Each structure stands twice: as C-alpha cells, then as structure tokens.
Homo-oligomer: A and B are copies of this chain.
Amino acid sequence: MDEENIYRKQTFGTKTGFGRSPALLVVDFVNGFVDPEIFGGGNIAEAVNATVPLLSFFRGQGLPVVFTRIVYADDGADTGIWCEKVPRLRELIELAPASQVVGELTPSSGEAVIRKTQASAFFGTHLSGILKAKGVDTLVIAGCTTSGCVRASVIDAISHDFRPILAADCVGDRALGPHEANLFDISEKYADVLSASQIIASLRR
C-alpha cells in the first residue's frame, strides 16, 4: 500500500493504452518451457491454455502474430555469457523437441517465428523491423517466463516505442513469487497489464 503510494506520487503506472495497430507477440511458448523437467513448471501450462483464445482472436481479426524461440547452433558456435549463466540453454537447438512451439499454439503461415539467443525478443533479432514493416504500434505480449524473457521483451518493447500490453493470464513462470513480483514491476514501469478477455474486449471496440 505504502509502496503503491510512492509509485503513484512519482507518476509510475500511468496507462499508455492501445494505439491503432496491434500485434501479438508470443514469447518462448516452446515445449521445453512447459516441461517442468526442462525449463517449465509453475503456471506456464495454464498460461499456454489462456493464450489459445487470444491467438484465435488475433487470427480472426487478421492481425499480425509473431512467435519467438530460443535457438542456438547445434555446435554451440553462437553461445555466449548467458549460456554460462544458465548452461542448459545450450540444449535449445534448431531441431530439439524442447525448442519447438507448443502444439496448442502452432504458428500459421505468415506468422514469423523468430530465433533468438538472448532474453529479449528484440535483442539480436529483426523483430522491431518486422513489426514496423507491418505498421504495428502496439504489442500485446504473451509467453514465458514472466520474470525472464517476457520481462526483458516488455522493456525492449517500450524502449523501441511500441505500446506494450501484457496479457496477465497469458504469461507464466516456473515459480509464482517472481511471477507476481514481475507483474507488479511491469505494470508500474513498462506496460498496461490486462487479462486476455479485457484485451479482446478493447480491440473489439
């Protein structure tokens, strides 16, 4: 409560709303991030399920959808310091089952699937240009994990001057404490945080 007062007084948490042209970014919803034996666990599987109708809505409206996967070279030639910090990341290679988008959210033709090697969907990728070429100004973000690649992608989304909208029930994490803590930070500093149904209702208008 007291913390929220500090944030309010310092003007954090102002809503930035929707622009004219939204896209959906689905961050790292791959098999290895759902499986608790690899990088999954917590509420990630539920977040995948909650993303199904959101993805369906974007497709129904003909709005752009982009997916990301973490992918390193088979021989590790493009790994770096992050793979020293989290060594199992090196297992995420092009054809590894762990590195494929989950079946429930299989990408359709025309939906870019971006390979990335760092936490943010924008870092070392052409995501910003892909979205700009489509005239996108607003980025609805689903995926995992909230405290990892989602948080990093949200920061970069607003840094690239997109309007970020976090789909709160469509993001998940292996542990719920960091999930909640990061939803708070994101809401105060970087994105409007709305449920999938609120997002759909807003875009329908």
- A→B interface (CB under 8 Å): 3, 6-7, 10-14, 16, 36, 38-39, 41-42, 73, 75-82, 84-88, 109-115, 117-120, 123-126, 128-130, 132-133, 135, 137, 147-148, 151-152, 155-156, 158-163, 174-175, 177-178, 181-182, 184-185, 189-191
Chain B contacts of A115 at CB under 8 A? 115
Most buried by B among A75, A126, A163, A191: A126
User: Are A81 and B178 closer than 8 Å at their CB atoms?
Assistant: no
A175–B86 CA distance with the chains assembled, in angstroms: 29
Minimum CB–CB distance from A99 to chain B (whole Å) comes to 15
- Least CB distance, A137 to chain B, in whole angstroms: 7
Residues on B with C-beta less than 8 A from A10 are 38-39, 86, 88, 174
Which 7 A/B pairs are nearest by Cβ-Cβ distance? A124-B126, A80-B133, A181-B181, A77-B112, A129-B161, A118-B159, A3-B175
Given A87-B14, A148-B189, A177-B3 in contact, is the A132-B161 Cβ separation under 8 Å?
A: yes
Q: Bound complex: CA of A171 vs CA of B121, how far in Å?
A: 26
Q: Among B41, B126, B152, point to the contact of A117 (Cβ < 8 A).
A: B126
Task: A80-B130, A81-B162, A82-B190 given; name 15 further pairs at CB < 8 Å.
Answer: A6-B36, A10-B38, A10-B88, A16-B85, A73-B113, A75-B109, A81-B163, A85-B158, A119-B155, A124-B128, A128-B160, A132-B132, A132-B160, A132-B162, A148-B189
